[in-house]
Amino acid sequence: MSKVLVSDPIDQAGIDILSQVATVDVNTGLKPAELIEIIGQYDALMIRSGTRVTQEIIEAGTQLKIIGRAGVGVDNVDVPAATRRGIVVVNSPEGNTIAAAEHALAMMLSLSRHIPDANASVKRGEWDRKTFVGAEVYKKTLGVVGLGKIGSHVATVAKAMGMKLLAYDPFISTERAEQIGCQLVDLDLLMQQSDYITLHIPKTPETTHIINATTLAKMKPTARIINCARGGIIDEAALAAAVKEGKIAGAALDVFESEPLGESDLRAIGKDIILTPHLGASTTEAQVNVAIDVAEQIRDVLLGLPARSAVNIPGLGPDVLEELKPYMQLAETLGKLVGQLAGGRVELLTVRLQGELATNKSQPLVIASLKGLLHQALRERVNYVNANIEAKERGIRVIETRDASARDYAGSLRLEATGTLGTHSVTGALLGDKEIHLTDVDGFPINVPPSKYMVFTLHRDMPGIIGKLGSLLGSFNVNIASMQVGRKIVRGDAVMALSIDDPLPDGILAEITKVPGIRDAYTVTL
C-alpha cells in the first residue's frame, strides 16, 4: 500500500479520502531535518503553508510521486526541483477563494473602523468613543492589485458596498475588468488615487517588493493598504516606516516576509496596523474544500490517474486530458517506437498533427511523444511532468507541424526522429477512436496494431525473403504472431513489421541482417 505523509494540519475529510488508497501518517510541525529523515518512505506529501518543501527535501523523497498543497500558493514548494524529479505538484486553485477574499474585506472594514483596538479597549474596561472614530468605505476608491479569483470577488463585494474600483493586472483584459466593474489602470495611478489598496497577486520575482518605499510614497496620507496575498510583496520595513511617519493611514497584513512573524517594527504600531497570522484560508468551509480537492488528486495520482490541478504539467487540464487521452497513448507508443528505430542519440523530433488532429492542442501530444521517446533511456523516471525538461537537458529539439489536408485517417500523428544514427519516421492513427494502428514506417504504408515485442526490417521486396526470415526466427524458437509488409513499388524497397510473442533473444538481430536482401533490422519493445 502507498504511504502518504500529511505534514500540516488538514481537515479530516481529506485524511478519509487518502485512507481509501494509502496508509496516512499525520505528522505536523516537523523540522526540516526531521522531514528529510523520514520523507524517503513516502509516495505522497500533503501540506498547507506551514511546510517548506525545499530541493533537499525533494531529493530525499526518493519515492515521492506527488506533492499536494491544500491551498493556492505553491511558493513554499520548489516546483522546478519537483518537476526535474518528475514529481507532480498539485494545489487547490479555488477551494479557499471566498475565505481569502472575505478576510481581505474584513481587514479593510476592521482598519477603517479600528475594530481590533476598540474591542481590546472595551475588554480592558474602557469606554473610549473618541480614539476610534473611523472612516466609511462607501464612495471611496478601492485599488485591487491582481484581478484573479480572489481579487475579482473582493471587487464584486466592494462594488456592492458602493466603492469605486480601480485595478492593476497586466494579464487581464479591459473587457474582463469592466465586467467586474473595475477600471484598469497602471500601478502608479492606482497607488495615487486609491483610498484602500488590496493585493491579490502571487509572489514572483516581479512582484517581490512591488510595494516599496517609492510606491508607498505615491499613496494618499489617508489611504490604507491590505495584504492577504503573500509576504514579501510589500517591503515590511518600508511599510512600518510609512505608517509610523503618517505617510499613509494604515495597513492590514495577513502574510509576512518570514512566517511566523518574528521581531518586527510592525508589532509596535498601534491601531493603524492590523496583523493576523496567515488566516486568509482559515474557515471551516475552505479547509474542507481544499482538503477534499487535494486529497482526491493525491488518491488519483497514486491510482495512476491524472490530477486535475497539476501546476507543473503544462497544458494538461482535465478537459484536455479527457479529450486527448487516446491520442496521448498513441503519441507515447509512437515515441517509444521511433526512439528505438532511431537508436543512438536523438537530436531532433518532429511531431506532425495530421487530419482532424491538426486543429488540436499540440503540447500534450508533444509531451506524450517525448515521454515515449525518452522511455528507453529513463524508464519510469520519465513522465508527463519532466518529459519536456529531460528532452531539453538532452539537447533534443522539437518541431511541431500540422497538416490538416492529410485525410487517410480521421486524425493521425507522425513522428520523425533524427539522431546520430540517421532519421526514422512512424505514423499512427486510432481505429474506432481507441485502437492504435501503425499506418506508416519510414514512409512505407502498413496497417498493424503495435504489440509489446516487434521486429522491423528494411529489405528488398523479392521472392523467398519472408520465408527465409520465418525459418530463421523459427530455428531460434521465436514465434511470430503477425507479419505485414509495406512497399511503395513492386520489387523495390519494403518494410516488414513482425509481432513476436517474446523478446528477440540476443544476437539474432545480426543474423537477420545476414539474410540476403535484408538491409537493416530493428527490434522494438513497446
Ligand X SMILES: NC(=O)c1ccc[n+]([C@@H]2O[C@H](COP(=O)([O-])OP(=O)(O)OC[C@H]3O[C@@H](n4cnc5c(N)ncnc54)[C@H](O)[C@@H]3O)[C@@H](O)[C@H]2O)c1
Q: Catalogue the active-site residues.
A: 230, 259, 278
209 binds ligand X (CB under 6 A): no
Residue of this chain nearest to ligand X (CB atom): 148
170 binds, among ligand 2HG, ligand X, none (CB under 5 to 8 A by kind): ligand X
Which member of 85, 200, 352, 371 binds ligand X (CB under 6 A)? Answer: 200
Write down the least CB distance from residue 332 to ligand 2HG, Å: 34
97 binds, among ligand 2HG, ligand X, none (CB under 5 to 8 A by kind): ligand X
229 binds, among ligand 2HG, ligand X, none (CB under 5 to 8 A by kind): ligand X
The residue behind cell 491582481 is: 146
Write down the least CB distance from residue 68 to ligand 2HG, Å: 12
For 395-418, the DSSP string reads: T-EEEEEEETT--SSSEEEEEEEE
In angstroms, the CA 248 to CA 254 distance is 18
95 binds ligand X (CB under 6 A): no
Q: Is residue 432 within 8 Å of residue 355, measured between CB atoms?
A: no
Write down the least CB distance from residue 169 to ligand X, Å: 4
Binding mask 48-87 for ligand X (x = CB under 6 A): -----------------------xxx--------------
Q: Which is nearer to ligand X, 165 or 438 (by Cβ)?
A: 165
144 binds ligand X (CB under 6 A): no
Q: Segment contacting ligand X (CB under 6 A): 145-153, 332-340, 398-406, 493-501? A: 145-153
What does DSSP assign to residue 523?
E
Q: Which is nearer to ligand X, 98 or 429 (by Cβ)?
A: 98
201 binds ligand X (CB under 6 A): yes
Write down the least CB distance from residue 309 to ligand X, Å: 12
In angstroms, the CA 496 to CA 470 distance is 12
127 binds, among ligand X, ligand 2HG, none (CB under 5 to 8 A by kind): none
48 binds, among ligand 2HG, ligand X, none (CB under 5 to 8 A by kind): ligand 2HG
Write down the least CB distance from residue 163 to ligand 2HG, Å: 25
Q: Segment contacting ligand X (CB under 6 A): 200-208, 212-220, 235-243, 383-391? A: 200-208
What does DSSP assign to residue 181?
T
Q: Which is nearer to ligand 2HG, 49 or 523 (by Cβ)?
A: 49
Q: Do strands 44-47 and 2-6 pair parallel, antiparallel, or not at all (unpaired)?
A: parallel
| Torsion (CA) 14, 16, 21, 27 in degrees, nearest 10 | 70
150 binds ligand X (CB under 6 A): yes
In angstroms, the CA 326 to CA 328 distance is 5
Residues lying near ligand 2HG in the complex (CB under 6 A): 48-49, 71-73, 96, 278, 280-282
Q: Which is nearer to ligand 2HG, 284 or 405 (by Cβ)?
A: 284
The size of the interface with ligand X (CB under 6 A), counted in residues, is: 31
Cis peptide before 445 (omega within 30 of 0): no
Q: How many residues does the chain have?
A: 526
**Three-state secondary-structure class, residue 379:** helix
In angstroms, the CA 6 to CA 51 distance is 10
Helices 97-113/149-160 angle, 10° precision: 50
| Start-to-end C-alpha separation, the chain | 27
Give the footprint of ligand X on residues 280-299 (CB under 6 A).
280-281
Write down the least CB distance from residue 117 to ligand X, Å: 22
Look at residues 187, 176, 85 and name the one whose alpha carbon lies nearest to residue 143.
187
Q: Is residue 297 within 8 Å of residue 307, measured between CB atoms?
A: yes
C-alpha to C-alpha distances, 453 to 309, 456, 505, 522, nearest whole angstrom: 36, 10, 11, 11
Write down the least CB distance from residue 312 to ligand 2HG, Å: 16
24 binds, among ligand X, ligand 2HG, none (CB under 5 to 8 A by kind): none
Q: Which is nearer to ligand 2HG, 75 or 265 (by Cβ)?
A: 75
In angstroms, the CA 315 to CA 331 distance is 16
To the nearest 5 percent, what fractions of the chain are helix, strand and coil? 35, 25, 40
Residue 408 — φ and ψ, nearest 5°? -60, -35
Q: Segment contacting ligand X (CB under 6 A): 10-18, 139-147, 342-350, 375-383? A: 139-147
Give the footprint of ligand X on residues 215-244 (CB under 6 A).
228-230
In angstroms, the CA 286 to CA 159 distance is 23
Look at residues 37, 44, 40, 55 and name the one whose alpha carbon lies nearest to residue 21.
44
171 binds ligand X (CB under 6 A): yes
Cell digits of residue 121: 479597549
Interface positions with ligand X (CB under 6 A): 71-73, 96-97, 100, 145-151, 168-172, 200-202, 206-207, 228-230, 254-255, 278, 280-281
